[in-house]
Chain A
């Protein structure tokens, strides 16, 4: 079963607006990552934040992590139509590469 929940399940915005997606998880973690998936294809890694970090930026992406609340958020600023995709958070808690994914948020950016 999945580690946690993501909300919203779906988000529709206009090009140029900001999109915020939230992820909650259930157990302690080492790292939390965000991935993007276009139309049922493979996942593309976006950003990794370690459990001792609170915020991380990469281009138009900003990720926050609150380990006390077991939650993370992904902010995409100045969204573009090309950002239309599903976004997943994934956590890992042990040695190795087992990732536990959230249910994902479907983002639609209208031009």
Chain B
């Protein structure tokens, strides 16, 4: 079974641009979560999607958005990029959300550099 696939693996953008990252979950997994990892703030939860609906959202500005498609694939978008958005963005999938069912399987991440 293929794991969680994130594309692209690396991105270089300039301030003010926007970027879209993609995540394909493990086959059969319907929940997708996104995390941002930086040296200063560590791993922080961005949002979670299940059945094309955002179910949880972290404490990030509205420039960060996401969506999920009917095949469970997810995209996240960051608009008006800032230098501080440089980070490793990780996507994780799980079967369904729910207490006790929270083992999440992570992709290799997309490393975004904002110049």
User: Are chains A and B native binding partners rather than an unrelated pairing?
Assistant: yes
Known: A2-B42, A97-B56. A40 touches B98 (CB 8 A): no
What is the interface size of chain B, counting residues whose CB is below 8 A from a CB of the partner? 31
Q: Contact check, B97 vs A30: say whether CB atoms are below 8 A apart.
A: no
Q: Contact check, B106 vs A98: say whether CB atoms are below 8 A apart.
A: no
Contact with A along B27-62 (1 / 0, CB 8 A): 000010101010001111100100000011010000
Is A43 at the interface (CB under 8 A from chain B)? yes
Contact with B along A16-57 (1 / 0, CB 8 A): 000000000000001101010000111111001010000000
Partner of B102, one of A42, A99, A103: A99
Q: Contact check, A96 vs B42: say whether CB atoms are below 8 A apart.
A: no
Is B11 at the interface (CB under 8 A from chain A)? no
Q: Contact check, B33 vs A97: say whether CB atoms are below 8 A apart.
A: yes
Q: Contact check, B103 vs A95: say whether CB atoms are below 8 A apart.
A: no
Q: Contact check, B43 vs A101: say whether CB atoms are below 8 A apart.
A: yes
Q: Contact check, B48 vs A30: say whether CB atoms are below 8 A apart.
A: no
Q: Contact check, A41 vs B103: say whether CB atoms are below 8 A apart.
A: no
B110–chain A nearest beta-carbon distance, Å: 10
The 20 listed contacts between A and B (C-beta, < 8 Å) are A1-B41, A2-B44, A30-B99, A31-B99, A31-B100, A40-B37, A40-B109, A40-B111, A42-B90, A43-B92, A48-B102, A94-B99, A95-B99, A96-B98, A97-B56, A97-B97, A98-B48, A99-B104, A101-B44, A102-B42
